[in-house]
Amino acid sequence: MYNDTFSDSLFHFSYGNLSACKPYRYGKVFKTNIIGTPIIISTDAEVNKVVLQNHGNTFVPAYPKSITELLGENSILSINGPHQKRLHTLVSAFLRSPHLKERITRDIEASVGLTLTSWSQLPLVHVQDEIKKMTFEILVKLLMSISPGEDLDILKLEFEEFIKGLICIPIRFPGTRLYKSLKAKESLIKIVKKVVEERQEATIERTNSPANDAVDVLLRDVNDGGGSDKQSQPLDFVSGKIVEMMIPGEETMPTAMTLAVKFLSDNPVALAKLVEENMEMKMRKSESGKEYNWSDYMSLSFTQNVINETLRMANIINGVWRKALKDVEIKGYLIPKGWCVLASFISVHMDEDIYENPYQFDPWRWDRINGMSNSNICFTPFGGGQRLCPGLELSKLEISIFLHQLVTRYSWTAEKDEIVSFPTVKMKRRLPIRVTPVERTSPISVEDH
């Protein structure tokens, strides 16, 4: 659930040869210098797999100074070894629990329903902005059980100020971007810590009941003495981790949903197929009288194809940074000790040797790809190895519910807009659309949109 983002502009630096077992300059792995730091960039799927899977004993996280200054040495990005593994396991188990799956499905359905209803009442909707509000609301409820209201509004304002400092010049002087973001982080921690303190006593009393949110999960771990033995202020530790887990609500999820709307707007054939599949399920559920569940949404095969194709083309997480703890040789390439490696996901996702016509939105390609032996190492929108995003399935559920309600209850027309990739992936005009409620009783034809 964490956004390991780096910019496309990193590839615009010049590079030279590196003394190694193979020449780097004209291959898929090469040397460059970024702000005076030697960097090795890998655009090779197999090399990236080794970098991701050998985390901890060979490679450790290494990120720009602005990120480490803002998040601290003990952030989710930076921690390594047993503590990182324990935290990842705790969050993954919580997100996979039947109790959470049932509740979060209802919560997402409710939030999406209210959001789309409001869209239909507006003359023009900027999808990128409105989806950010919705996904942030869902995420904060998952993390802290805070519902919409004044507390959530204040939290969002402080968070928006905080997040601006992730990509900036790492100078702390008053008035600088980093300084303002650090001040916003202090305010965020105070707000979250108040919630954590109020929940501390209740959590102790409810040790035998299922965890309701991430605060419950982390507090129980702290109370059990696990994973936080070096933390002198356990409540500060929990509050800090909750703030970090909020970051995907600002970038990853809303961007994926926005771009799904963009790609479908530009591809009426794919949209018609998506409507057909979702209308079939809607009619089945209506006839049975049963509620939707997690597995219903995940069983929509073409919808999952649309999501995968959106993530492949969007490249919201462009790649990850790692630092070699020792000399490492991978496929004949030598990565010297102390050097940073940029494992580029975007280069693999857009490689025409792997994906035919990679710049074409083609959800049907996943029917051909699924089951291929190298599909897992060539598709890494959620990272990989020990740091594979624990919220992978939850993210796909959220997009599935959004797309299901959008295409079965509404039609829309989108104004012309362009995707911008720097400093993060977004729409130039925030994707303006006009939404109209519809009563669908059957799938649509291509001409209906």
**Numbers of helices and strands, H then E, in the chain:** 17, 12
Distance (Å, rounded) from C-alpha 241 to C-alpha 49?
A: 27
- Would 123 be classed as within a structural domain? yes
Adjacent-strand bridge partners of 211: none
Closest among 442, 264, 296, 292 to 363, alpha carbons compared: 264
- Would 3 be classed as within a structural domain? no
Distance (Å, rounded) from C-alpha 121 to C-alpha 39?
A: 50
Could you give the percent of the chain with pLDDT greater than 70? Answer: 88
Residue 232 has pLDDT above 70, yes or no: no
pLDDT of 84 reads 87
Q: Angle, nearest 10°, between helix axes 98-120 and 392-409?
A: 40
pLDDT of 150 reads 85
Residue 14 has pLDDT above 70, yes or no: no
pLDDT of 374 reads 72
With contact defined as beta carbons under 8 Å apart, do 161 and 180 qualify?
A: yes
- Would 315 be classed as within a structural domain? yes
Residue 206 has pLDDT above 90, yes or no: no
- Give residue for tokens 């869209």: 119
Binding-site members for heme are 389
pTM attached to this predicted model? 0.91
Binding-site members are 389
How does residue 227 score in pLDDT terms, banded at 50, 70 and 90? low
Compute φ and ψ for 380, nearest 5 degrees: -135, 50
Q: What is the mean pLDDT of residues 209-222?
A: 92
Residue 225 has pLDDT above 50, yes or no: yes
pLDDT of 315 reads 93
Distance (Å, rounded) from C-alpha 296 to C-alpha 291?
A: 9
Amino acid at 413: T
Residue 147 has pLDDT above 50, yes or no: yes
- Would 51 be classed as within a structural domain? yes
With contact defined as beta carbons under 8 Å apart, do 191 and 158 qualify?
A: yes
Mean pLDDT of the chain: 87
289-324 per-position pLDDT tens digit: 999 999 999 999 999 999 999 999 999 989 998 999
Residue 11 has pLDDT above 80, yes or no: no
Distance (Å, rounded) from C-alpha 430 to C-alpha 129?
A: 7
Closest among 332, 299, 232, 431 to 24, alpha carbons compared: 332
Domain count, the chain: 1
Choose the weakest-confidence range: 20-24, 35-39, 109-113, 249-253: 20-24
- Would 148 be classed as within a structural domain? yes
Boundaries of domain holding 83: 8-448
**Two tokens, residue 164:** 């601006």
pLDDT of 9 reads 29
342-397 per-position pLDDT tens digit: 999 999 999 999 999 999 999 999 999 876 767 789 999 999 888 899 999 999 99
Residue 446 has pLDDT above 50, yes or no: no
- Would 2 be classed as within a structural domain? no
Adjacent-strand bridge partners of 55: 59
244-289 per-position pLDDT tens digit: 999 876 788 999 999 999 999 999 999 999 999 999 999 999 999 9
pLDDT of 78 reads 78
38-84 per-position pLDDT tens digit: 889 999 999 999 999 876 789 988 877 888 889 987 888 778 888 88
- Would 313 be classed as within a structural domain? yes
How does residue 109 score in pLDDT terms, banded at 50, 70 and 90? very high
Q: What is the mean pLDDT of residues 19-39?
A: 66
pLDDT of 229 reads 46
CATH number of the domain residue 223 falls in:
1.10.630.10
- Would 1 be classed as within a structural domain? no
pLDDT of 116 reads 98
Distance (Å, rounded) from C-alpha 50 to C-alpha 213?
A: 33
pLDDT of 72 reads 86
Residue 422 has pLDDT above 90, yes or no: no
**Two tokens, residue 77:** 């990005």
pLDDT of 12 reads 30
Could you give the percent of the chain with pLDDT greater than 90? Answer: 67
**What letters, b where the CB count within 10 A reaches 16 and e where it falls short, cover 142-155?**
bbbebeeeeebeeb
